Structure 1
Amino acid sequence: MKKLLAGGTLAVLAFGGMIATATSASAHTPSVSSDCGFVNVDLKYYQDAKVTVVIDGVTVEDTEFNGGFQKRYEENLGLDKAHEWTVTVDAYDGRDGTQYDWSQSGSIGVCQTPPPAEVVTPVVPEAVAGCAASLDDIVLPESTEAITYTKTEAGIVATLNSEDFIWPEELGAYVPQEDGSALLPTDVIVLEEDCEPSPSPSVEPSEEAPAPSDEPTTASPSPAPAETEELAATGATVGGAIAFAALLAAGGVALVWARKRMQQNA
């Protein structure tokens, strides 16, 4: 009787152990919830396992854990867009290491209508003109919260900084590009002009001194004596001047002779 009771007790204990083991192994409890702005992952009663979380095609979690794992994901889950997610659990226990593997996918709809994009117009800088003008002479417009300006060989490129801004239907001098930017061509703001060649300074030939000649040159007449010029100025002739001088000389001689006679008679 005692042997029978002992055997029954062992059987009960063994059966209870099997039930406990089965319950423990099958108690893996994965749970995922999502709503506007979040995805929540809660994994319980696992032995060694690995969890992978993918949101909008990007793996945001790839972690091994033991026992349990809980985490809430909110980054990049804006309310103005729809999102998709997938949670995968690779449980290492169970038959072939795949018995308790688990995966679930879901989505989150648009929770808030985004505000309309703001219309912004790119700035056209002041044009330059000249025979040597180039794009380097253009003052680049200052970049703003909405638009970034850069220079390229083709001209000035205006780029929107985010989807919160859009171009107007008519861009004026700017040309829409396939990548969403706008191009202001160089020839619109750089007005080239033909350069006129500067005149070369003319060199006038210097006057050369006349070459010496072997032929005698006619001597220039000597200037007339000063007396002649003075006599000519008074209207007297050379002959008259000589006669007048002789008369004075004769008078002087007569005066001297008369004085001598007077002295002798005295």
Structure 2
Amino acid sequence: MAVDSKVIAQAAARLTGAMERGRAVAPVRDLLGAQDIGAAYAVQQELTRRRLRRGAVVAGRKIGLTSPAVQRQLGVDQPDFGVLFADMDVSAEPEVPSARLLQAKAEAEIAFVLGEDLADGDLDPAQVRAAVDHAVAALEIVDSRIADWDITLADTVADNASSGLYVLAERRLTLDEFEPRETTMRMYADDVLVSEGSGAACLGDPLNALAWLARTAREFGEPLRAGQVVLSGALGPMVPAPPGTRIRAEISSLGEVTAAFSEKRDA
């Protein structure tokens, strides 16, 4: 079924308004339908085009819904993805700018940085693995423009997979130096343990998530390219990250990654 361009424009306008006014809005599923993945990605693509016209630069992708429990919650059987823009990377900032966020939550992940394109060929596990230049520990700061995180699959996909910002650690390892599925993760908020998990929690292996994304991105006509960052999916439950919080994650082999959230949002 063809996607109604007027409906796509309405949903995109609602989400754009949330970003411009800094105020969460009602879900867009009333426009798209709660499970219409095609329409939701059409909204995401429209929002991406708008950002690119304003000078944004694509830095990579993020993968979401890699946890079976979250998939069951939303009634889906596959992950989703969103676009990472260069200005989402706040690794070099002394603090995560809470003013840029509405309802921040943090997830600990493995980030893969590609050394080769994933555009041609079978995109089988061997090819995907060989395309990874290195991996780093990462914190994805997810956010939702939908009020109270009241989301279905359509809402989160349209809202760029509930993307926000991200932080990358400095330590780099190749896939000859560690095995992503064997990692363990502990995440702390103000030194209190709030989340635990492992590489196996991410589709059985974070490289499985990368392979899924490589195939899906190519199907959408925007294959993964050398130099891009891929946030491969949460290794454990996400946790709230309000202003003033300090999040620290320990991912075995890859080490620590931290993010201190600024105390107050701008007025």
Fold in common (TM above 0.5)? no
Higher strand residue share: 1
Higher helix residue share: 2
Which structure has the larger Rg?
A: 1
Q: Looking at both structures, which has the greater relative contact order when contacts are Cα pairs under 8 Å and sequence separation is at least 6?
A: 2
Q: TM-score per shorter chain, which class?
A: under 0.3
TM-score (norm 1): 0.17
